[in-house]
């Protein structure tokens, strides 16, 4: 596919662009201050900032190009409606790591069999928000009053443990992200399935994993 990549020079962009190119995609990087010209592209990918992503997505949709977005911290509902109006797709996932998404799926299943769980999320000290979006989504999937513990330390990348407690037994589900390449499989999957999605907004990588 011919891809426009908003934020190609960012931390995620620098890890993903070589993987997308190695998979056979042609990538046009678009940075802050560049004209958001996606003409001739089959899809646009955005890993920028919550302030920048809505304008980038709007520009792509206005040019008739569907979008895959990893930028977190913004509400895609309005642009999902615009995509539906135009018969285009807007796919947004707060976590493109297949392992993290499977961890949430397994946690939802385990929650049916254990009375209590707590989530421990551990990230590098550079991460400003706490708890992480993935930890909040996991706690919501488990239900009840699931406590989240947040750890911010140098040396960590992105890790999460979900500990389930029951009578005489514990179950721990753990996922470790050791590099930003972990998001590549999810982005490639979303690009492969983009045209099969219904027009409008689709959220969450879980919807694409069989
Ligand atoms: P980052 O290193 O700050 O990269 C953001 C990049 O976007 C920078 O190169 C920035 O350029 C560029 N940018 C800013 N405004 C732009 C615009 N209007 N048009 C085009 N490019 C623009 O951040 P990151 O770590 O790569 O993360 C990017 C986003 O992805 C964040 O929202 C993060 O939370 C999210 N994320 C999502 C997932 C997921 O799985 N869904 C995983 C990791 C991260 P300048 O440096 O010039 O400002």
pLDDT of residue 127: 83
Q: Decide whether any atom of ligand 1 lies within 6 Å of the 183 Cβ.
A: yes
pLDDT of residue 18: 97
Could you tell me the distance, in angstroms and rounded to a whole number, from the CA of residue 61 to the centre of ligand 1?
19
* Mutation probe of ligand 1 site: the residue of 45, 46, 49 with most atoms within 8 A of C-beta: 49
- What is the mean pLDDT of the segment spanning 53-71? 97
Q: Whole-model pTM?
A: 0.89
pLDDT tops 80 at residue 131 = yes
pLDDT of residue 72: 86
Atom 12 of ligand 1, residue of closest alpha carbon: 7
- What is the mean pLDDT of the segment spanning 7-17? 96
Atom 35 of ligand 1, residue of closest alpha carbon: 71
**CB neighbour list of residue 94: distance below 8 Å, 6 or more residues apart:** 72, 133, 134, 137, 203, 204
Q: Residue 94: pLDDT band by 50, 70, 90 thresholds?
A: confident
């Amino acid at each position: 596919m011919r891809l426009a990549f908003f934020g190609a020079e960012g931390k995620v962009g620098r890890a993903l662009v070589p993987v997308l190119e190695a998979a056979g995609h042609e990538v046009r990087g678009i940075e802050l201050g560049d004209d958001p010209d996606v003409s001739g592209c089959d899809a646009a990918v955005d890993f920028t900032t919550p302030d920048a992503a809505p304008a980038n997505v709007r520009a792509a949709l206005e040019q008739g190009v569907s979008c895959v977005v990893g930028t977190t911290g913004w509400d895609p509902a309005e642009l999902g409606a615009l995509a539906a109006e135009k018969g285009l797709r807007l796919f947004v996932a707060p976590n493109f790591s297949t392992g993290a998404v499977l961890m949430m799926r397994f946690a939802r299943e385990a929650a049916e069999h254990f009375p209590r769980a707590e989530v421990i999320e551990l990230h590098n000290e550079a991460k400003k928000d706490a708890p992480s979006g993935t930890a909040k989504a996991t706690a919501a999937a488990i239900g009840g009053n699931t406590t989240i513990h947040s750890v911010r330390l140098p040396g960590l990348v992105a890790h999460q443990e979900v500990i389930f407690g029951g009578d005489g037994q514990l179950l721990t589900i753990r996922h470790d992200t050791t590099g930003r390449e972990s998001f590549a499989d999810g982005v490639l999957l979303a690009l492969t399935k983009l045209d099969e999605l219904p027009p409008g907004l689709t959220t969450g990588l879980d919807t694409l994993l069989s």
